[in-house]
Amino acid sequence: MTDAATGTTRADTFEDPLVIAGEKFHSRLIMGTGGAPSLHVLADALRASGTEMTTVAMRRVDPNAQGSVWDVLRETGVRPLPNTAGCFTAVDALRTARLGREALETNWVKLEVVADERTLLPDPVETLDAAERLVDEGFVVLAYTNDDPVLARRLAQVGCAAVMPLGAPIGSGMGIRNPHNIELIVEELDVPVILDAGIGTASDAALAMELGCDAVLLATAVTRAQDPVLMAHAMREAVSAGRRARLAGRIPIRRYAHASSPPREG
Amino acid sequence: MNAIINGEPRQLAPDTTVADVVRSLTRAESGVAVAVNDEVVPKTDWARTVVSPDDRVDVLTAVQGG
């Protein structure tokens, strides 16, 4: 649909914000900051991605550090989402979340409680326990979880503001290993579903959105790409394209051809 | 007096405050949080919180991750 007077199409002026805990985001891509080769590249990649929120980890201050991710966030205007990366228990996660809240002056937290270093898979028992306690303490909890529809439902029930199932293990780039489960999670939850972890390239991000996810969270796929800034741009377009395709409604898959031209007469 | 600062044993002068410890580690004025014996000390209390012998003081900041 093109407006003849202005030359703009409906697609150009399309308003479709992501809403988490009542806050609106225009970008459905949330970038993580982990793995960038330098703070300079990180800043450029964040800008190219169009993201409005990015995850950061909490670690002991290094007196010899040159520059900081905190400076990059202030320079780019991207809001920080402190995570609990590196925590193996609910108790650890609570402590880290409270420190993140104090340091970054936000009560939002990406809850991440992993089971072991080799797989970095979320520990479901500790994650659910921590989620419930953080919600009780007034945190807005975005919970990283397995692609388990039942656990996703439980996390939503205890009050998580968003549920973030993995596509595949963190940093693996294997894409979405169980699209069926992601669809089940999307169908059932009323809170935003954000595909987190496992994205390798643009088509994975587009698929997440086509499956009905509300947003995509990724870091490694961009920060460890050969050209992180170009990949950030690709991810921005992939998320946007996947979202529009989802809303547009794809055609059914058929076994045989379905002619798109009228048959010839005579 | 001895205390554990970010995991390392350190000799501190008597009456050293959390604010003093933070200043000794970083010039950053924001984006930093402190826990003493795993309890968060709000920024507004740093100047009046005196480190006790054998306290574990952790000074954290945001780094790339996730």
Q: Give the model's pLDDT for residue A12.
A: 57
Neighbouring residues of A177: CB distance < 8 A, sequence distance ≥ 6:
A147, A167, A168, A198
- Asked if residue A16 belongs to a domain, the reply is no
Give domain status of residue A6, yes or no: no
Tokens of A228: 């992180």
Kindly report the backbone phi and psi dihedral angles of residue A157, in degrees, each rounded to the nearest multiple of 5, phi listed first. -65, -35
A10 in a structural domain: no
Percent over 90 (pLDDT), chain A: 85
Q: Average pLDDT, stretch A174-191? A: 97
Distance between CA A196 and CA A174 in Å, rounded?
A: 12
Domains along the sequence of chain B with CATH:
2-61 (3.10.20.30)
Average pLDDT estimate for A168-188? 96
Number of compact structural domains in chain A: 1
Question: Do the chains contact at A61 and B6, CB–CB below 8 Å?
Answer: yes
Predicted-complex ipTM score: 0.92
C-alpha torsion sign, points B13, B16, B19, B21 = positive
What average pLDDT does the segment B19-27 reach? 91
Core vs surface per residue B38-57: b (16+ CB within 10 A) or e? eebbebeebeebebeeebeb
Per-residue pLDDT at A216: 98
Query: Taking the CB of residue A154, how many other CB atoms lie within 10 A of it?
Result: 19
Residue A132 sits in a domain whose CATH number is 3.20.20.70
pLDDT tens-place string over residues B28-47: 878 899 999 999 999 999 99
pLDDT at A1 over 80: no
Full residue range of the structural domain in which residue A141 is found? 23-59+71-248
SS3 of A197-263: CCCCCHHHHHHHHHCCCCEEEECHHHHCCCCHHHHHHHHHHHHHHHHHHHHHCCCCCCCCCCCCCCC
Residue located via tokens 């609570």: A94
Q: Is residue A203 part of a domain?
A: yes
Q: Is residue A28 part of a domain?
A: yes
Tell me if A13 is assigned to some domain.
no
Instruction: Please enumerate in sequence order all residues whose Cβ is within 8 A of that of A227, keeping only pairs 6 or more positions apart, or say none.
Output: none
φ, ψ dihedrals at B63, nearest 5°: -130, 170
Query: pLDDT digit string (tens) for A120-145?
Result: 999 999 999 999 999 999 999 999 99
Chain A residues with CB under 8 Å of a chain B CB are 32-36, 42, 55-61, 63, 68-70, 73, 80-83, 85-86, 95, 98-100, 102-105, 110, 112, 219
Active site residue A24: no
Residue A222 belongs to a domain: yes
Give the model confidence (pLDDT) of A202-212 as tens digits. Answer: 999 999 999 99
Residues 6+ apart with CB under 8 A from B20: none
Residues of A in contact with B59 (CB under 8 A): 60-61
Residue A6 has pLDDT above 60, yes or no: no
pLDDT, tens digit, for every residue of A14-51?
A: 689 999 999 999 999 999 998 889 999 999 999 999 99
Tell me the mean pLDDT in the region A230-249.
97
Q: Is residue A259 part of a domain?
A: no
